[in-house]
Amino acid sequence: MTSYDLTPLLRSSVGFDVFDNIFDSVFNLNESSTSYPPYNIIKSKNNYTITMAIAGFTKDEVDISVEENELSVKGISNNSDEKIEFLHKGIAARNFERKFQLADTIKVVDASYENGLLNIFLEREIPEHQKPRKIEINNNNVNSIHKN
């Protein structure tokens, strides 16, 4: 039996929750493979927060950009460790580039960096035609509709 690993597609998308759940249930995917830098995606109502653990970087070494529906986070470390002799190096401050596919309705609102954690705040903008609306009940012309 052939199996397809769609984990890279599902991990880096925001706003496609329904599709993620469908793929997870159909293909029974798990996130056994990890990648650098580690991150979380938190959802609350119409807001999302992407939190990335990027210890060892300053905010000047991190670039966040959005082009079309793709959020790109790049980290380029300017520190040269050639002169430092490490007994153990567990903090991976290597260069990285992480991309997230965003739904059409997801907009990047803000970003913050504190204590080695980069937080990117996103918001779902619901188009006017998709917002719930109340339909008024009108008793006029009820008889005329049934007669025709």
Domain boundaries, the chain: 36-129
Residue 70 identity (one-letter amino acid): E
Least confident interval from 36-40, 44-48, 65-69, 136-140: 136-140
35 pLDDT higher than 90? no
Query: 36-129, which class in CATH?
Result: mainly beta
State the CB neighbour count (10 A cutoff) for residue 131. 7
For 115-139, what is the mean pLDDT? Answer: 87
138 pLDDT higher than 60? yes
The answer for residues whose C-beta is within 8 angstroms of residue 29's C-beta and 6 or more apart is 5, 6, 7, 10, 23
pTM: 0.64
| Contact indicator for 51, 119 with CB cutoff of 8 Å | yes
Q: What is the pLDDT of residue 29?
A: 44
